[in-house]
Structure 1
Amino acid sequence: MTDIKYSINKHIGTLSESAKGWKKELNLISWNDREPKYDIREWSPEREKMGKGVTLSKEEIIALRDLLNGLEL
């Protein structure tokens, strides 16, 4: 299995935290030395493990922001 290389360029914020300490975060991450993208996923307390997530380009995060701004919550 190929190792995935990543670098968290900027921690933007934490969305939630589970009882076991895992945090769902929004970060700007470079995957395999590529251009950084916005990433939402869960991380273990020491960031030694990660859960499945979603990675978004700048254009996609702008579209998501616009969709969320249109919601009546």
Structure 2
Amino acid sequence: MADIKYEIIEKIGQLSESSKGWTKELNLISWSGREPKYDLRDWDSEHNKMGKGVTLTVEELKKLKDVLNEIEL
């Protein structure tokens, strides 16, 4: 499998940390030199290994924010 090229443009926030030191983070990432997208996934402490995640455009992130604001916790 080829190496995945990415650049973390902005670290926005950490949601949690596992007992093994992996963190679930929301970041702005450019994948393979493309326009940056918002990205939510698990990372190892050095940001060399990653878990499966989801990438969102600005419009999708705004919609997600609206949906989350409708949830009563």
TM (normalized to structure 1)?
0.96
Which sections of structure 2, spanning at least 5 residues, go unmatched? none
RMSD: 0.7
Unaligned residue ranges in structure 1 (runs of 5+): none
- Residue aligning to 2:36: 36
TM-score (norm 2): 0.96
Report the equivalent of 1:64.
Answer: 64
Runs ≥4 in structure 1, deviation > 4 angstroms?
none
- Between the aligned residues of both structures, percent identity stands at 66
Q: Quote the Cα distance in structure 1 between the aligned partners of 2:35 and 2:26.
A: 16
